[in-house]
């Protein structure tokens, strides 16, 4: 089929590339002209494993193109995917500004009957609003259908997830639209779940809110383990053996970040508020997460008394490994808190440094390797478990740091081994050793 994808961020670009890989003709549109130029040359503007190779292959096959021009993209399009951002507004609700602009533009430019598919995460009711906006500008004799097709990929493994995801959700109020979008997706070979539009919109928010709840729940248990002498890893291993609980997504850490969980939990809380059905549990999940982001700094203050004049190596800045995305990364809060305490901060990230420079405080210095960061520092904090950070040996920390004290926000090492190697090792939900 001929498909237009509007927005080439983590979701739009991966979707466009994947749809071309399974045989469709895809034109991706973005307003960022620099991005479009790069993409036309087969260069991905984001770091996502495997993406660039697939991009190049499908450009060569003539199935994938990029443009900033709506006329060009919609000349032949039978289906238009919306994959622009829905960031958080100051009041916590989802900002639909980009969706509105795109919906109106689609209405002005489609020249044949078209199915508009919303991939972006949007509050329940938004697809109806999208329909109204598109229909406002339509040419005579052109009809549209609207489908909710929320995205579940994870940054860092977005390509893999698109081809190996758990399900594809299609929310439609017309059988024809639901069947067409199902047909487009059949070659992925994944379970397809069809429902109405409102339920599809809610599935996305409910899924992210549930995962965020899991994280905050485990983090609360880990803080209790800290106080009561239990070991969070043994606890979650034992919990996870119960099939009703499951053993995935039970890692304690320094809270969730990224471009989805924080804004989506917040949007759902606001949506619930507007519906007169306050979501108390989710509010607590968000508060726990805010506290958890500060945990390592609290531990460091407890250990050192004052952090004034100390230099701290922050290892890993992206919100999780294998991505260059810095949106809502815990490193932002941690760097700010450390600087407020009078500490100097030197950060290291294998991929996200350029993006980090845009959002971390100006006072943060940057190193090109864990070694350089640690050799400048009094002590270190592990914030993101990138492979090259996990590959640093305990002996190296001992040799590099002025004081062999490690605060590990991702539980990368065995506490007993750390103590044996002469490191004072503070981790999450496990006893401090050394």
Question: Which CB sits closer to ligand NAD, 123 or 434?
Answer: 123
How far apart are CB 382 and ligand NAD at their closest, in Å?
23
Identify the residue among 3, 4, 5, 8 touching ligand NAD (CB under 6 A). 8
Give whole-number Cα distances, 299 to 337, 353, 385, in Å. Answer: 12, 25, 19
Residue found by looking up tokens 């109106």 in the block: 104
Q: Is 162 in the site for ligand NAD (CB under 6 A)?
A: no
As measured in angstroms, the least distance from the Cβ of 153 to ligand NAD is 5
Determine if residue 391 is labeled as part of a ligand binding site: no
Task: Please say which residue, 103 or 405, places its beta carbon nearer to ligand NAD.
Answer: 103
Check the annotation: does 153 bind a ligand. Answer: yes
Residue in the shown chain whose Cβ atom is closest to ligand NAD = 9
Q: Cα separation of 405 and 428, whole Å?
A: 14
Q: In what order do the strands lie in the sheet with 405-408?
A: 365-366, 344-348, 311-315, 379-382, 405-408, 424-426
> In degrees to the nearest 10, what's the CA dihedral of 328, 332, 336, 338?
130
Q: Does 101 bind ligand NAD (CB under 6 A)?
A: yes
Which of residues 216, 222, 259, 384 is near ligand NAD by CB under 6 A?
259
What's the closest the beta carbon of residue 9 comes to ligand NAD, in angstroms? 2
Q: Per rule CB under 6 A, is residue 307 in the interface with ligand NAD?
A: no
Interface with ligand NAD (CB under 6 A), residue from 4, 10, 26, 366: 10
Minimum CB distance to ligand NAD smaller for 29 or for 318:
29
Among 65, 88, 145, 155, binds ligand NAD (CB under 6 A): 155
Q: Is 249 annotated for ligand binding?
A: yes
409 makes contact with ligand NAD (CB under 6 A): no
Q: Does 313 bind ligand NAD (CB under 6 A)?
A: no
Determine whether 374 is an active site residue.
Answer: no
Q: Report how far residue 322's alpha carbon sits from residue 391's, in angstroms, rounded to the nearest whole number.
A: 15
Nearer to ligand NAD, 73 or 297 (CB): 73
Selection from 4, 208, 251 nearest residue 88 by Cα: 208
Task: Give the contacts of 312 (CB within 8 A, at least 6 positions apart).
Answer: 300, 338, 343, 344, 345, 346, 377, 378, 379, 380, 381
| Three-state DSSP class for residue 161 | helix
Cα angle, residue 378 at apex, residues 372 and 384 outer, rounded to 5°: 60
Minimal distance in Å, beta carbon 239 to ligand NAD?
Answer: 27
Contact 10/46 with Cβ under 8 angstroms?
A: yes
For residue 188, say whether it is annotated as part of any ligand binding site: no
Binding-site string for ligand NAD from residue 12 to residue 31, where x marks contact by CB under 6 A and - marks none: x----------------xxx
Interface with ligand NAD (CB under 6 A), residue from 1, 2, 22, 32: 32
Q: Which of 5, 77, 83, 315 binds ligand NAD (CB under 6 A)?
A: 83
Q: In this structure, what token pair is assigned to residue 159?
A: 């390509």
Phi, psi of 5 (to 5 degrees): -120, 120
Q: Which helix (H) or strand (E) segment is 371 a member of? A: helix 370-376
Q: Which stretch binds ligand NAD (CB under 6 A): 147-155, 215-223, 312-320, 329-337?
A: 147-155
CA 401 → CA 127, 249, 380, 385, distances in Å?
A: 54, 32, 8, 19
Closest to 149 measured CA to CA, from 88, 97, 83, 208: 83
Catalytic residue among 28, 69, 225, 260: 260
CA atoms within 13 A on the CB side of 86: 30
Q: Which residue numbers belong to the known binding site for NAD(+)?
A: 30, 35, 86, 121, 155, 263, 327
Q: Which residues bind ligand NAD (CB under 6 A)?
A: 6-12, 29-32, 35, 83-86, 98, 101-102, 119-121, 151, 153, 155, 259-260
Q: Which residue numbers belong to the known binding site?
A: 30, 35, 86, 121, 152-155, 204, 249-253, 257, 263, 320, 327
Q: Which residue numbers belong to the known binding site for substrate?
A: 152-155, 204, 249-253, 257, 320
Active site residues: 260
């Amino acid at each position: 089929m001929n498909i237009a994808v509007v927005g080439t961020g983590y979701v739009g670009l991966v979707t466009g590339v994947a749809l071309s890989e399974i045989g469709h003709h895809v034109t991706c549109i973005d307003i960022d002209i620099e991005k479009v130029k790069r993409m036309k040359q087969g260069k991905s503007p984001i770091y996502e494993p495997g993406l660039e190779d697939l991009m190049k292959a499908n450009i060569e096959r003539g199935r994938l193109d990029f443009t900033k021009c709506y006329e060009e993209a919609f000349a032949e399009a039978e289906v238009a995917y919306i994959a622009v951002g829905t960031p958080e507004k100051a009041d916590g609700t989802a900002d639909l500004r980009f969706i509105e602009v795109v919906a109106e533009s689609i209405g002005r430019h489609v020249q044949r009957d078209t199915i508009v598919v919303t991939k972006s995460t949007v509050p329940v009711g938004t697809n109806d609003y999208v329909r109204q906006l598109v229909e406002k500008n339509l040419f005579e004799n052109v009809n549209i259908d609207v489908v909710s097709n929320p995205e579940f990929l994870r940054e860092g493994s977005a390509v893999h997830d698109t081809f190996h995801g758990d399900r594809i959700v299609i929310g439609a109020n017309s059988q024809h639209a639901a069947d067409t979008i199902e047909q487009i997706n059949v070659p992925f070979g994944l379970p397809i779940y069809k429902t109405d539009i409102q339920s599809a919109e809610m599935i996305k928010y409910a899924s992210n809110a549930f995962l965020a709840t899991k994280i905050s729940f485990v983090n609360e248990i880990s803080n209790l383990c800290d106080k009561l002498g239990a070991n969070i890893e043994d606890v979650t291993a034992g919990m996870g053996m119960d099939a009703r609980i499951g053993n995935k997504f039970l890692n304690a850490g320094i809270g969730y970040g990224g471009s989805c969980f924080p804004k989506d939990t917040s949007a759902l809380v606001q949506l619930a508020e507007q519906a007169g059905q306050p979501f108390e549990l989710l509010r607590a999940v968000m508060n726990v997460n805010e506290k958890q982001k500060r945990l390592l700094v609290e531990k460091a203050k407890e250990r050192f008394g004052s952090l004034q004049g100390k230099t701290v190596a922050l290892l890993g800045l992206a919100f999780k490994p294998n991505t260059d995305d810095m949106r809502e990364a815990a490193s932002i809060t941690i760097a700010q808190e450390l600087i407020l305490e009078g500490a100097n901060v030197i950060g290291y990230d294998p991929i996200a440094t350029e993006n980090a420079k845009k959002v971390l405080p100006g006072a943060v210095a940057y190193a090109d390797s864990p070694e350089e960061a640690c050799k400048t520092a009094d002590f270190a904090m592990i914030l993101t478990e990138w492979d090259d950070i996990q590959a640093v040996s305990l002996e190296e920390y001992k040799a590099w740091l002025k004081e062999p004290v490690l605060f590990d926000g991702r539980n990368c090492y065995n506490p007993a081994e750390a103590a044996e190697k002469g490191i004072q090792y503070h981790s999450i939900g496990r006893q401090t050793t050394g």
